[in-house]
Amino acid sequence: MFIDLRTLDDGSVLEADICIVGAGPAGISMARSLIGTSIDVLVIESGDMDYDDATQALYRGESVGVPYFGLEDARLRFFGGSSNHWDNWCGEFQPIDFQQRSWVPFSGWPFGPEELEPWYDLARPICSLGPRRKNAEIWDKLNVEPIVLDESRLKFHFWEIATPTRFGEVYREELRKAPNIRVLLNANATEVVSDAAAHKVESVELVTFNGHKARVKARHFVLACGAIENARLMLASDRIEPHGIGNRRDVVGRFFMEHPRDRIGSLATSDPFHLIDMFRPGWFGEHVFCPSITVPAEKTKAEQILNTRLQLLYVTDETSMATMRRFAQSIEAGRVPDRLAEGLWDLIQGTDITAYNLYRRAVHNRPMVPKPDGVQQVYFLCQAEQAPNPDSRITLSDRRDALGSRLPVLDWRLGELDKRTLQVQGKLLGGELARLGLGLFQFDPWLREGGTSWSPSMVGGYHQMGTTRMSDDERTGVVDADCKVHGLDNLYVAGSSVYPTGSNINPTLTLVALALRLCDHLKQRITERV
């Protein structure tokens, strides 16, 4: 059932067994997992079914550290959350991501990868992914011969890409029809209220743009609003605890992490086509796999670096590619191509790439590839793991949004290890490419420099993590291994904000797996007390 809070009486009090604040991938996955149970579930969503400018503006904030996107641009605030613009690039965390690494301060999860494996199995179909595939199987299906890397130094790792899954669209009817699920729309959570001893949450306060207020009482509460908003709501809930609920140790909002993405260097090569072909995303049935290069776990330990991946990209102004596609589409439609003479001249000008693509299609049945625009335009892009940093954090401003809530302030910081990792990995890559006779790798100038500065073109991956991190020790974490906030009996956090470390892979698949695991824990708690 879907309910618009604006249609309820001002001052309404709603009750549930579990209240989930946030209807993105984590919140919706949890609600779906509870369908058909005897547990009464109330999901709180700030937005409506579609995008709205005023609601989206509630994400605004300040950025005072490493340059970052506008905070209102990095997330979507309506039913389905950021899955509404998610490209569905996925992957599972690797064993080293869970380990405590002596050279990475604050690293280590409270459990190992085996704990998440069954939950990954359940999360994969929710994210529209197929079964796991071995690298050899993928290469064979993609009909590409990979270069033979020295796997003691570098190895291939794939992104898995499925048809974009808009959780708010795909799973809407299931939630609408579920008798034990209510979704409350246009309901903005402004405060989490605990008892006087700050041992248990009693309610969540809600407000709408038309001034209606409401209160939710529940046996258990789950914050699933995203890394910035989870921290923001906890910090703003200072009625009982002066520094924010669950923040006795001043950890809430700290350890903000992203995946820095930047060019690390270019490849001078006389024959770029095989590498371009090999690094292109390719279809395996209904799913796409995109190769990248990472450093094996033993080598990361030996070099004392982070777990980062590299992707080959290229720049092209090749017009013959577009012409060939246009000609092919016209011929398949049974008509003479438009601008025939102009198109033939384009193909003559690009004789080498035209002949190469004809050979690829006729002999190997492979897709066409473009010609790079000069030797400097084949380059490697990193998606880097960020070392946990307590000074990289979310705080609150004195400025307020349209509902009176204090705005978040992001101070994103990167350190020496983040940059040194890319310098080491670039040297390993350059050595392997030279050994294989594939060209000369050249660092981009910013990476040849010392210090911690990055290039002006560096961006994040829209992958916000870490602000309510998981740890058995409340001095270094906000939640425990069950995602329960330390010191509070019934407050939990779901989503990538609980990550102690962020790996190098997109976070959605893992946050869905963790949400399902949390849901199972809550089912057990409620069953035990019935």
Question: Which of 212, 252, 229, 223 lies closest to 407, judged by CA?
Answer: 229
Helix/strand/coil for 399: strand
* Distance from C-alpha of 468 to C-alpha of 189, rounded to nearest angstrom: 18
Strand partners, 194: 201
Give one word for 483, left, alpha or beta, with left for phi > 0 and alpha for psi -120 to 50.
Answer: left
Judge whether 510 and 25 are in contact, CB under 8 Å.
no
Please give the average per-residue pLDDT across 238-258, as a whole number: 97
pLDDT of residue 295: 98
Helix, strand, coil percentages in the chain from 3-state DSSP, rounded to 5: 35, 20, 45
Per-residue confidence at 351, pLDDT binned at 50, 70, 90?
very low
DSSP β-bridge partners for residue 380: 265, 312
CA distance 47 to 78: 4
pLDDT reported for residue 329: 57
Which segments of 333-488 are extended strands (E)?
378-383, 393-400, 406-411, 440-443
pLDDT per residue over 63-91, tens digit each? 999 999 999 999 999 999 999 999 999 99
Please state, rounded to an integer, the average pLDDT across all residues of the chain.
91
Domain extents in the chain:
2-59+73-128+165-250+471-529, 133-162+261-315+372-383+415-453, 319-364
**Which CATH number describes the domain made up of 2-59+73-128+165-250+471-529?**
3.50.50.60
Burial string for 336-374 (b: 16+ CB within 10 Å, else e) reads ebeeeeebeebbeebeebbeebeebeeeeebebbbbbee
In this predicted structure, what is the pLDDT of residue 345?
47
As a whole number, mean pLDDT of residues 486-493 equals: 98
- Residue 243 in this model has a pLDDT that exceeds 90: yes
CA distance 14 to 3: 12
Neighbours of 73 (CB within 10 A): 12
- The per-residue pLDDT for 62 is 97
Backbone angles phi, psi at 150, to 5 degrees: -75, 105
- Alpha-helical runs (H) found in 57-166: 95-98, 113-126, 135-142
pLDDT digits (tens, 9 = 90+) for 409-466: 999 999 999 999 999 999 999 999 999 999 999 999 999 988 889 999 999 999 999 9
Q: How far apart are CA 102 and CA 179, in angstroms?
A: 50
Of 44, 56, 35, the residue nearest 3 (C-alpha): 44
Write the DSSP symbol of residue 454.
-
pLDDT digits (tens, 9 = 90+) for 12-54: 999 999 999 999 999 999 999 999 999 999 999 999 999 999 9
Q: What is the pLDDT of residue 132?
A: 93
